[in-house]
């Protein structure tokens, strides 16, 4: 007896995307060949842990020596709406805190810290020669001809967020491009006329085509993820696993939200535990090498710690808090004498890497506002105080 192979709808970037199954067709062939193994991309799913662990009724607070050096630490964490907090020094946990109801092994959305992870995946592909940073974006994505990413815009410009895009990043404005971006990716309810997917949304973005001035734009990261797919032949979710997460020695799987085409929301959709996110910071302290092998070159890491062009973001809100700060390769660089770099996400997500203290600080929060100067200043001061306490020096 012979069998006939039923073709599976292609999901990778190298082949034209076939229509993904609708809710009323995912059980039919040929869609079921793919859908039965990837149902979480079509229908909301919930984890069923292999070991039942009831959520803790009380907050878990292990301040370690920080409790003596920083009296009132727990109160400061609570005032910042902290859900999870962890300090790693010399690759050892020296303090942690989890709010009531959040166990340490519970993944937490890291919002735009996801961008820093994408920058490392790009760096991995640069290291193997699959991506060239001074190449034009259109060399990888001809679909973006006629958009803000055409002309002289290079991969490096996108990495450093120095591309002019007609994109309003006001998270509370229903008319903003960032909300349209969210709706196209499945983060909000769709409106009539919205692009059907993230990739389609990216093809609608216009700009003056003059790179050079810093503009924080979440669309840039999804352009990078699309380039990752085109250069690697993998879906972004697969590339994130192959080139980064599988090499960290992570204790838990991370997750990422996907749009109707299965395209990962690279700019803000990753969820993971605080301890596993700290492993990304440790990777940076270790020169790009993880327990599972090298992720990025020492030169790539060194370039991030060296920072980007401070003039490109002069006058930005970030430099109001960190004079001399800059942005490069999807990482924020404080420009301080301590050489601190950080990944930052709205509502209070921080991955703070301090090479002076050989320390990583993760703070995952749920601020009542997405982007607040008050909370940013409060949180940055707390993180700086912790950094100084770890080296027992006095803040300037």
112 is known as an active-site residue: yes
Among the listed residues 220, 16, 234, the one whose alpha carbon sits nearest the alpha carbon of residue 125: 234
Measured distance CA(393)–CA(396) in Å, rounded: 9
Task: Dig out the tokens for 212 from the structure.
Answer: 């050079």
Q: In this structure, are residues 198 and 222 in contact, taking their beta carbons and an 8 Å threshold?
A: yes
Could you give the C-alpha distances from 213 to 144, 237, 316, in angstroms and in order? Answer: 21, 30, 11
Catalytic residue among 60, 112, 130, 372: 112
> Could you tell me which residues come within 8 angstroms of residue 350 by beta carbon, excluding any fewer than 6 positions away?
113, 342, 343, 344, 361, 362, 363, 364, 379, 383
Could you give the C-alpha distances from 304 to 266, 270, 280, 295, in angstroms and in order? Answer: 19, 21, 14, 14
Among the listed residues 61, 58, 92, the one whose alpha carbon sits nearest the alpha carbon of residue 77: 61
Q: In this structure, are residues 284 and 341 in contact, taking their beta carbons and an 8 Å threshold?
A: yes
Measured distance CA(313)–CA(214) in Å, rounded: 5
CA dihedral over 296, 298, 303, 304, signed as positive or negative: positive
Q: In this structure, are residues 254 and 245 in contact, taking their beta carbons and an 8 Å threshold?
A: yes
Residue 348 zone, left/alpha/beta (φ > 0; ψ -120 to 50; rest)? left
Q: Which residue has the tokens 């990944």?
A: 343
Q: Which residues are catalytic?
A: 112
């Amino acid at each position: 007896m012979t069998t006939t192979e039923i073709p599976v709808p292609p999901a990778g970037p190298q082949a034209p995307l076939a229509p993904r199954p609708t809710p009323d067709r995912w059980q039919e062939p040929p869609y079921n060949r793919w859908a039965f193994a990837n149902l979480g991309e079509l229908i909301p799913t919930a984890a069923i842990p292999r070991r039942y662990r009831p959520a803790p009724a009380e907050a878990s607070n292990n301040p370690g020596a920080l409790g003596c050096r920083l009296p009132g630490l727990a109160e400061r964490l609570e005032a910042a709406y902290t859900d999870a907090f962890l300090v790693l020094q010399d690759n050892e946990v020296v303090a942690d805190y989890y709010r009531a109801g959040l166990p340490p092994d519970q993944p937490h959305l890291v919002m735009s810290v996801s961008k820093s992870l994408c920058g490392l995946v790009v760096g991995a592909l640069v290291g193997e020669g699959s991506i060239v940073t001074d190449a034009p974006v259109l060399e990888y994505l001809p679909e973006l001809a006629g958009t803000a990413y055409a002309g002289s815009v290079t991969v490096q410009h996108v990495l450093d967020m120095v591309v002019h895009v007609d994109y309003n990043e006001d998270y509370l404005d229903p008319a903003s491009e960032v909300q349209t971006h969210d709706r196209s990716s499945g983060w909000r309810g769709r409106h009539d006329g919205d692009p059907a997917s993230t990739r389609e949304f990216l093809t609608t973005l216009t700009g003056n085509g003059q790179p050079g001035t810093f503009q924080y734009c979440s669309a840039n990261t999804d352009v990078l993820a699309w380039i990752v797919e085109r250069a690697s032949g993998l879906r972004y979710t697969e590339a994130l696993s192959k080139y980064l997460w599988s090499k960290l020695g992570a204790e838990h799987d991370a997750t990422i939200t996907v749009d109707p085409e299965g395209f990962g929301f690279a700019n803000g959709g990753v969820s993971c535990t605080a301890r596993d996110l700290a492993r990304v910071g440790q990777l940076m302290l270790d020169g790009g090498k993880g327990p599972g092998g090298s992720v990025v070159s020492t030169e790539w890491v060194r370039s991030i710690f060296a920072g980007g062009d401070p003039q490109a973001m002069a006058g930005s809100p970030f430099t109001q808090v960190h004079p001399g700060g800059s942005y490069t390769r999807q990482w924020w660089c404080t420009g301080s004498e301590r050489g601190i770099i950080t990944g930052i996400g709205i509502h209070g997500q921080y991955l703070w890497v301090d090479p002076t203290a050989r320390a990583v600080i993760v703070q995952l929060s749920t601020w009542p506002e997405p982007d607040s100067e008050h909370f940013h200043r409060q949180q940055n001061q707390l993180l700086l105080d912790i950094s100084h306490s770890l080296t027992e020096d006095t803040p300037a």
